[in-house]
Structure 1
């Protein structure tokens, strides 16, 4: 099991679901990914569900939390490592973003803050103490990619370059030009332009992708468990992927990496 003990600044570290029905979400993700959960009480956040692989004592891979505001849609939040929350907040504001929450001390685990980019896509930054982020990667049921969907890709490239030091590299994967955000030579996130094929009411957002062994089987199982498959299993150079919304309406992707074929 490929353990992760440290994340470089600017890389994705964690994914957290805000859900209106915690028990239903636990059942769905347990059925889809085989996750177990246990509850952690955090002074600043209330009860928080840690998702693990291989039983409750296994490595932590994601988080679930009841939604504090039921006027907002259920969603996954993608977290990125920062070397300093204050500096990240200054960079976000200077580049045209907004601070939504924070900074917040999460007991002994670390500090977080929640921001929105210039188009309104929300994301979080994490400055760790005892909790670095997901403790395992590179195997099924773990976070493997994060992707921004937005309309003004040039503005997004400038914003995230200023906030995280990302370099944008275009890739022709499918349909519109796809952007890989890189730190050095390593791709850490992706971006797709929301063109006319997207519904007019669709909002810019970050979406987490979780690795699976078989994309078709995972999409079929998700549908049986109550998800709605938005993009059916499709091939791209990195692997075979699908995009869905879970029974509560939160968007996520699954991908079977090409390296496993």
Structure 2
């Protein structure tokens, strides 16, 4: 696989206090299998869908125990240069670019409105080996209470073009790399409790949304929204038993017309 264009989501991982519990949950809900944990890299363990690497789970590093959360990584040809742009545009670099063996270089950051994300400069590990198939990553959205700050930041750091959904009921923006939509941005309404911080919501593809929700809730997951049908697929938002938010979507079951958009960049 070729290295993904700059700003394209390329990998996702999450820290879990109970890694074995997370593996049981996601293997049942998303059909994942897991590789051997790498003690050299903090027991980092890759997840596979139909033999393709699609994500990873890892125990928290000392001092980082607490709320579990999925982290989405964006491709960069030069993580150090991206870190510089993050700082220059009001973001915070939480972890300086760090080489991970021959696999690549990673960086963790927080955009000005508060959502945490990663940057990945590929080495031998180029990122997702599959997307938009059952068990694999499909889409992501930045949920924020300060959309103007997030919008200015992401377009400046990754050079995105942007389109706004023409709908008075929601404030939703789509970021593009070339002709490809790669990321959404949703303004958090008062429906979100004030203690919920801005975050990046990762969507994983499933063959049947309702079935995935049923499996997740049976295993202690919490249904946050849906299932609902949309022009993009039938989807639902969940929290896993350790509190990590994620969404599932069946992209084969669509309903309604695509929303109208207008260019804003």
Match runs of 1:191-206 below 5 Å: 191-206=185-200
Question: Which residue number corresponds to residue 58 of structure 2?
Answer: 65
- What is the CA distance between 1:174 and its match in structure 2? 9.0
- What is the CA distance between 1:42 and its match in structure 2? 5.9
TM-score normalized by structure 2?
A: 0.91
* Comparing 85-94 and 167-176, the one that deviates more: 167-176
Asked whether 1:183 is paired with 2:180, we answer no
- What is the CA distance between 1:260 and its match in structure 2? 7.0
Question: Which residue number corresponds to residue 21 of structure 1?
Answer: 18
Asked whether the 8 Å contact 1:20–1:70 carries over to 2, the reply is: no
Q: Which structure 2 residue ranges, 5 or more long, are not aligned?
A: 256-265
Asked whether the 8 Å contact 2:17–2:65 carries over to 1, the reply is: no
Cα pair distance change 1:102/1:39, threshold 3 Å? farther
Cα pair distance change 1:202/1:119, threshold 3 Å? same
SS of the residue aligned with 2:35? strand
Question: Which residue number corresponds to residue 35 of structure 1?
Answer: 32
Asked whether the 8 Å contact 2:232–2:254 carries over to 1, the reply is: no
- Between the two proteins, the alignment pairs up a number of residues equal to 254
Question: Which residue number corresponds to residue 47 of structure 2?
Answer: 51
Cα pair distance change 1:21/1:73, threshold 3 Å? same
Question: Which residue number corresponds to residue 242 of structure 1?
Answer: 236
- What is the CA distance between 1:41 and its match in structure 2? 2.2
- Structure 2 CA distance, aligned partners of 1:11 and 1:123? 12
- What is the CA distance between 1:200 and its match in structure 2? 1.4
- Structure 1 CA distance, aligned partners of 2:167 and 2:222? 23
Cα pair distance change 1:148/1:194, threshold 3 Å? same
Give the alignment partner of residue 118 of structure 1, picking from 112, 130, 133: 112
SS of the residue aligned with 1:247? coil
- What is the CA distance between 1:180 and its match in structure 2? 0.7
- What is the CA distance between 1:135 and its match in structure 2? 0.4
SS of the residue aligned with 2:13? strand
Question: Which residue number corresponds to residue 154 of structure 2?
Answer: 160
Asked whether the 8 Å contact 1:103–1:113 carries over to 2, the reply is: yes
User: Aligned-residue CA RMSD in angstroms?
Assistant: 1.7
- What is the CA distance between 1:8 and its match in structure 2? 1.2
Question: Which residue number corresponds to residue 72 of structure 2?
Answer: 78
TM-score normalized by structure 1?
A: 0.92
Asked whether 1:132 is paired with 2:120, we answer no
* Comparing 181-190 and 250-259, the one that deviates more: 250-259
- Structure 1 CA distance, aligned partners of 2:32 and 2:208? 17
Q: Which structure 1 residue ranges, 5 or more long, are not aligned?
A: none
